Structure 1
Amino acid sequence: MKVVIVSLRNLILGGIVLLIVLVAGIFLLVKDPLNVSDSYRQQESSVPASAMPMVQPEGKEKPSLNLDVKVEGNTAEVSLLTQNFQFVSDNGEMDLQAVYGEGHAHLYLNGEPKGMIYQPEFLLKKLPKGEHELRVELNYSNHLPYKIEAVQKFVVE
Protein backbone atom coordinates (compact mmCIF):
# COMPACT_ATOMS: atom_id res chain seq x y z
CA MET A 1 0.00 0.00 0.00
CA LYS A 2 1.36 3.37 -1.02
CA VAL A 3 0.95 6.34 1.23
CA VAL A 4 0.80 9.83 -0.31
CA ILE A 5 1.71 12.70 1.92
CA VAL A 6 0.38 16.10 0.82
CA SER A 7 1.64 19.15 2.56
CA LEU A 8 -0.80 21.78 3.75
CA ARG A 9 0.99 24.35 1.59
CA ASN A 10 0.45 22.31 -1.62
CA LEU A 11 -3.18 21.71 -0.68
CA ILE A 12 -3.82 25.44 -0.23
CA LEU A 13 -2.04 26.36 -3.51
CA GLY A 14 -4.03 23.71 -5.38
CA GLY A 15 -7.27 25.05 -3.91
CA ILE A 16 -6.39 28.60 -4.96
CA VAL A 17 -5.57 27.53 -8.53
CA LEU A 18 -8.82 25.55 -8.72
CA LEU A 19 -10.78 28.55 -7.44
CA ILE A 20 -9.17 30.90 -10.01
CA VAL A 21 -9.93 28.52 -12.88
CA LEU A 22 -13.51 28.09 -11.67
CA VAL A 23 -14.09 31.87 -11.39
CA ALA A 24 -12.54 32.49 -14.86
CA GLY A 25 -14.73 29.78 -16.40
CA ILE A 26 -17.90 31.20 -14.86
CA PHE A 27 -16.94 34.72 -15.99
CA LEU A 28 -16.40 33.58 -19.61
CA LEU A 29 -19.63 31.59 -19.59
CA VAL A 30 -21.68 34.53 -18.32
CA LYS A 31 -19.90 37.10 -20.50
CA ASP A 32 -20.21 35.28 -23.82
CA PRO A 33 -21.57 31.74 -23.67
CA LEU A 34 -20.95 30.76 -27.29
CA ASN A 35 -18.17 33.00 -28.61
CA VAL A 36 -15.28 33.26 -26.20
CA SER A 37 -13.39 35.81 -28.27
CA ASP A 38 -14.98 39.11 -29.26
CA SER A 39 -11.84 40.30 -31.02
CA TYR A 40 -12.46 38.20 -34.14
CA ARG A 41 -16.13 39.05 -34.54
CA GLN A 42 -16.93 41.39 -37.43
CA GLN A 43 -18.91 44.47 -36.45
CA GLU A 44 -20.57 44.88 -39.85
CA SER A 45 -20.77 42.54 -42.77
CA SER A 46 -18.36 43.44 -45.51
CA VAL A 47 -19.24 43.63 -49.16
CA PRO A 48 -16.79 42.29 -51.73
CA ALA A 49 -15.61 44.69 -54.42
CA SER A 50 -17.36 42.51 -57.00
CA ALA A 51 -20.68 43.36 -55.29
CA MET A 52 -20.42 47.06 -56.03
CA PRO A 53 -23.49 48.38 -57.82
CA MET A 54 -23.22 48.98 -61.49
CA VAL A 55 -23.36 52.48 -62.84
CA GLN A 56 -26.56 53.68 -64.43
CA PRO A 57 -26.68 52.03 -67.85
CA GLU A 58 -27.20 54.22 -70.88
CA GLY A 59 -30.85 54.43 -71.85
CA LYS A 60 -32.09 53.45 -68.38
CA GLU A 61 -33.64 56.15 -66.25
CA LYS A 62 -32.80 56.58 -62.60
CA PRO A 63 -35.40 55.06 -60.23
CA SER A 64 -37.66 57.39 -58.27
CA LEU A 65 -39.65 56.92 -55.07
CA ASN A 66 -42.66 58.60 -53.45
CA LEU A 67 -44.70 57.58 -50.40
CA ASP A 68 -48.45 57.44 -49.94
CA VAL A 69 -49.45 56.91 -46.29
CA LYS A 70 -53.09 56.46 -45.19
CA VAL A 71 -53.71 56.24 -41.43
CA GLU A 72 -56.74 54.47 -39.99
CA GLY A 73 -56.79 54.06 -36.21
CA ASN A 74 -53.35 52.85 -35.15
CA THR A 75 -52.53 51.30 -38.53
CA ALA A 76 -50.81 52.98 -41.47
CA GLU A 77 -51.26 51.65 -44.98
CA VAL A 78 -48.11 52.52 -46.95
CA SER A 79 -47.72 52.46 -50.72
CA LEU A 80 -44.29 52.88 -52.28
CA LEU A 81 -44.78 54.62 -55.61
CA THR A 82 -41.75 53.86 -57.75
CA GLN A 83 -40.74 54.44 -61.32
CA ASN A 84 -37.98 52.55 -63.12
CA PHE A 85 -37.67 50.18 -60.15
CA GLN A 86 -38.86 46.61 -59.62
CA PHE A 87 -39.07 44.93 -56.21
CA VAL A 88 -37.45 41.50 -56.08
CA SER A 89 -37.90 39.01 -53.25
CA ASP A 90 -35.17 37.88 -50.89
CA ASN A 91 -33.85 34.42 -51.70
CA GLY A 92 -32.07 34.08 -48.35
CA GLU A 93 -28.64 34.88 -49.75
CA MET A 94 -27.12 38.22 -50.56
CA ASP A 95 -26.92 38.55 -54.33
CA LEU A 96 -23.42 39.64 -55.24
CA GLN A 97 -24.43 40.74 -58.71
CA ALA A 98 -26.57 43.87 -58.52
CA VAL A 99 -29.10 44.50 -61.29
CA TYR A 100 -29.81 48.14 -62.00
CA GLY A 101 -33.48 48.97 -61.44
CA GLU A 102 -34.14 45.98 -59.16
CA GLY A 103 -33.94 45.49 -55.40
CA HIS A 104 -35.81 46.15 -52.19
CA ALA A 105 -36.39 48.97 -49.71
CA HIS A 106 -35.08 49.61 -46.20
CA LEU A 107 -37.70 50.97 -43.80
CA TYR A 108 -37.02 53.41 -40.94
CA LEU A 109 -39.68 54.60 -38.49
CA ASN A 110 -38.77 57.59 -36.32
CA GLY A 111 -35.11 57.12 -37.24
CA GLU A 112 -34.96 53.44 -36.19
CA PRO A 113 -34.48 50.63 -38.74
CA LYS A 114 -37.60 48.44 -38.89
CA GLY A 115 -36.84 46.02 -41.71
CA MET A 116 -36.66 45.38 -45.41
CA ILE A 117 -39.57 45.67 -47.81
CA TYR A 118 -39.90 43.38 -50.85
CA GLN A 119 -43.25 44.62 -52.17
CA PRO A 120 -44.63 48.10 -52.88
CA GLU A 121 -47.49 47.97 -50.33
CA PHE A 122 -47.46 47.07 -46.64
CA LEU A 123 -49.08 47.87 -43.27
CA LEU A 124 -47.58 49.36 -40.12
CA LYS A 125 -49.72 48.12 -37.22
CA LYS A 126 -50.05 49.01 -33.52
CA LEU A 127 -48.51 52.45 -33.91
CA PRO A 128 -48.55 54.61 -30.77
CA LYS A 129 -50.44 57.90 -30.84
CA GLY A 130 -48.51 60.94 -31.98
CA GLU A 131 -46.44 62.15 -34.90
CA HIS A 132 -44.25 59.67 -36.76
CA GLU A 133 -41.63 59.99 -39.48
CA LEU A 134 -41.39 57.26 -42.11
CA ARG A 135 -38.24 57.05 -44.23
CA VAL A 136 -37.78 54.53 -47.01
CA GLU A 137 -34.67 54.07 -49.12
CA LEU A 138 -34.22 51.96 -52.23
CA ASN A 139 -31.42 49.37 -52.27
CA TYR A 140 -29.92 46.91 -54.69
CA SER A 141 -30.46 43.22 -53.93
CA ASN A 142 -26.98 43.19 -52.32
CA HIS A 143 -28.15 45.91 -49.86
CA LEU A 144 -26.05 48.71 -51.34
CA PRO A 145 -28.09 51.92 -51.57
CA TYR A 146 -29.32 53.62 -54.73
CA LYS A 147 -29.15 56.82 -52.64
CA ILE A 148 -32.83 57.37 -53.39
CA GLU A 149 -35.14 57.90 -50.42
CA ALA A 150 -38.49 59.36 -49.50
CA VAL A 151 -39.59 60.77 -46.12
CA GLN A 152 -43.12 61.45 -44.95
CA LYS A 153 -44.50 62.51 -41.58
CA PHE A 154 -47.93 61.37 -40.41
CA VAL A 155 -50.00 61.51 -37.22
CA VAL A 156 -51.75 58.69 -35.41
CA GLU A 157 -54.67 59.99 -33.34
Structure 2
Amino acid sequence: MQKQLVILLLFLFVVLGACGNDKPAPETNIPNVAFAMTNQENKSFQVKHVVKGKDVLIECIVADFPFRKGTNGGHINVYINGQKIDEVYTAAFMLRGLPTGKHVIRLELVHNDGKITGLSQEFTVTIS
Protein backbone atom coordinates (compact mmCIF):
# COMPACT_ATOMS: atom_id res chain seq x y z
CA MET A 1 0.00 0.00 0.00
CA GLN A 2 2.77 2.39 0.93
CA LYS A 3 4.64 1.55 -2.30
CA GLN A 4 1.56 2.37 -4.39
CA LEU A 5 1.16 5.70 -2.59
CA VAL A 6 4.79 6.64 -3.33
CA ILE A 7 4.36 5.70 -7.00
CA LEU A 8 1.13 7.70 -7.21
CA LEU A 9 2.79 10.75 -5.62
CA LEU A 10 5.75 10.51 -8.01
CA PHE A 11 3.38 10.24 -10.96
CA LEU A 12 1.42 13.31 -9.82
CA PHE A 13 4.66 15.25 -9.29
CA VAL A 14 5.81 14.47 -12.84
CA VAL A 15 2.43 15.33 -14.38
CA LEU A 16 2.08 18.61 -12.48
CA GLY A 17 5.69 19.55 -13.23
CA ALA A 18 5.05 19.13 -16.96
CA CYS A 19 2.12 21.58 -16.89
CA GLY A 20 4.25 24.71 -16.59
CA ASN A 21 4.02 27.70 -18.91
CA ASP A 22 7.72 27.80 -19.74
CA LYS A 23 7.72 27.44 -23.50
CA PRO A 24 10.99 27.53 -25.41
CA ALA A 25 11.57 30.46 -27.73
CA PRO A 26 11.23 29.54 -31.40
CA GLU A 27 14.49 29.17 -33.28
CA THR A 28 14.99 30.53 -36.75
CA ASN A 29 17.75 29.17 -38.92
CA ILE A 30 18.00 31.35 -41.99
CA PRO A 31 21.64 31.28 -43.11
CA ASN A 32 23.30 34.41 -44.52
CA VAL A 33 20.19 36.55 -44.05
CA ALA A 34 20.13 39.59 -41.79
CA PHE A 35 17.10 39.82 -39.53
CA ALA A 36 16.27 43.45 -38.83
CA MET A 37 13.74 44.96 -36.50
CA THR A 38 12.49 48.40 -37.37
CA ASN A 39 12.89 51.41 -35.17
CA GLN A 40 9.78 51.20 -33.01
CA GLU A 41 8.20 54.60 -32.60
CA ASN A 42 4.97 52.95 -31.51
CA LYS A 43 5.51 49.85 -29.38
CA SER A 44 2.11 48.36 -30.19
CA PHE A 45 3.05 47.80 -33.86
CA GLN A 46 6.30 45.95 -34.48
CA VAL A 47 7.68 44.86 -37.82
CA LYS A 48 10.41 42.37 -38.63
CA HIS A 49 11.74 42.01 -42.15
CA VAL A 50 14.23 39.83 -44.00
CA VAL A 51 15.68 40.58 -47.42
CA LYS A 52 16.26 37.41 -49.41
CA GLY A 53 17.43 38.07 -52.96
CA LYS A 54 14.81 40.29 -54.60
CA ASP A 55 12.13 39.37 -52.05
CA VAL A 56 11.32 40.90 -48.67
CA LEU A 57 9.68 38.72 -46.01
CA ILE A 58 7.67 40.83 -43.55
CA GLU A 59 6.16 39.88 -40.19
CA CYS A 60 3.92 42.30 -38.30
CA ILE A 61 3.24 41.96 -34.59
CA VAL A 62 0.16 43.83 -33.39
CA ALA A 63 -1.82 43.21 -30.23
CA ASP A 64 -5.59 43.00 -30.58
CA PHE A 65 -5.82 43.73 -34.30
CA PRO A 66 -7.92 41.28 -36.36
CA PHE A 67 -6.42 40.69 -39.82
CA ARG A 68 -9.44 39.71 -41.93
CA LYS A 69 -11.80 40.94 -44.59
CA GLY A 70 -15.28 42.16 -43.72
CA THR A 71 -16.65 43.93 -40.71
CA ASN A 72 -14.65 44.12 -37.48
CA GLY A 73 -11.47 43.38 -39.40
CA GLY A 74 -8.50 45.23 -40.69
CA HIS A 75 -5.58 45.14 -43.09
CA ILE A 76 -2.18 46.63 -43.87
CA ASN A 77 -1.77 49.20 -46.60
CA VAL A 78 1.63 48.53 -48.20
CA TYR A 79 3.53 51.40 -49.81
CA ILE A 80 6.82 51.15 -51.72
CA ASN A 81 8.62 54.43 -52.38
CA GLY A 82 5.45 56.37 -51.54
CA GLN A 83 3.16 54.44 -53.89
CA LYS A 84 0.43 52.17 -52.49
CA ILE A 85 0.88 48.73 -53.99
CA ASP A 86 -1.35 46.42 -51.97
CA GLU A 87 -3.76 45.76 -49.09
CA VAL A 88 -2.68 42.73 -47.06
CA TYR A 89 -5.01 40.82 -44.73
CA THR A 90 -2.37 38.69 -42.97
CA ALA A 91 0.27 39.53 -40.35
CA ALA A 92 3.06 37.87 -42.36
CA PHE A 93 3.58 38.29 -46.09
CA MET A 94 6.21 38.61 -48.81
CA LEU A 95 6.99 41.33 -51.33
CA ARG A 96 8.38 39.55 -54.38
CA GLY A 97 10.60 40.66 -57.21
CA LEU A 98 11.64 44.14 -56.10
CA PRO A 99 13.97 45.88 -58.56
CA THR A 100 17.61 46.51 -57.69
CA GLY A 101 18.23 49.56 -55.50
CA LYS A 102 17.02 51.15 -52.27
CA HIS A 103 13.32 51.07 -51.44
CA VAL A 104 11.36 52.70 -48.63
CA ILE A 105 8.59 50.40 -47.44
CA ARG A 106 5.78 51.83 -45.33
CA LEU A 107 3.13 49.70 -43.63
CA GLU A 108 -0.04 51.30 -42.34
CA LEU A 109 -2.70 49.55 -40.23
CA VAL A 110 -6.26 50.37 -41.31
CA HIS A 111 -9.67 49.09 -40.22
CA ASN A 112 -11.82 47.80 -43.07
CA ASP A 113 -14.49 50.41 -42.34
CA GLY A 114 -11.94 53.08 -43.29
CA LYS A 115 -10.94 54.15 -39.79
CA ILE A 116 -7.25 54.93 -39.55
CA THR A 117 -5.49 53.38 -36.56
CA GLY A 118 -2.60 55.81 -36.65
CA LEU A 119 -0.17 52.90 -36.47
CA SER A 120 2.48 52.71 -39.17
CA GLN A 121 6.07 51.58 -39.63
CA GLU A 122 8.60 52.52 -42.27
CA PHE A 123 11.93 50.94 -43.16
CA THR A 124 14.43 50.92 -46.01
CA VAL A 125 15.70 47.83 -47.85
CA THR A 126 18.48 47.53 -50.38
CA ILE A 127 18.07 44.99 -53.18
CA SER A 128 21.26 44.01 -54.97
Q: Give the structure 2 partner of residue 30 of structure 1.
A: none
- Residue 67 of structure 1 is matched in structure 2 by 47
**2:113 corresponding residue in structure 1:** 142
Tell me which of 66, 72, 76 is aligned to 1:86: 66
Which residue number in structure 1 is paired with residue 94 of structure 2? Answer: 123
Which residue of structure 2 aligns with residue 6 of structure 1? none
Q: Give the secondary-structure state (helix, strand or coil) at the position aligned to 2:120.
A: strand
Higher strand proportion: 2
Computing the radius of gyration from Cα coordinates, the structure with the larger value is 1
Higher helix fraction (1 or 2): 1
Task: Note if contact 1:138-1:145 (Cα within 8 Å) is conserved in structure 2.
Answer: yes
CA distance in 1, matches of 2:118, 2:43: 10
Shift of 1:64: 2.2
Aligned to 2:19: none
Deviations, residues 47-93 of structure 1 (Å, cap 9, x unaligned): xxxxxxxxxxxxxxx9921211101110111111212222112x4xx
With normalisation by structure 2, the TM-score equals: 0.61
TM-score by length of 1: 0.51
Q: Identity of aligned pairs, percent?
A: 23
Query: Aligned to 2:74, what secondary structure does the other structure show?
Result: strand
SS across alignment from 1:142: coil
Q: Contact between 1:107 and 1:117, CA under 8 Å: does it hold in 2? A: yes
CA separation of 1:144 and 1:87: change in aligned 2, threshold 3 A: same
Amino acid in the other structure paired with 1:88: R
CA RMSD of aligned residues (A): 1.9
Aligned residues: 87
4+ residue stretches of structure 1 with deviation over 6 A? none
Q: Does 1:114 align with 2:85?
A: yes
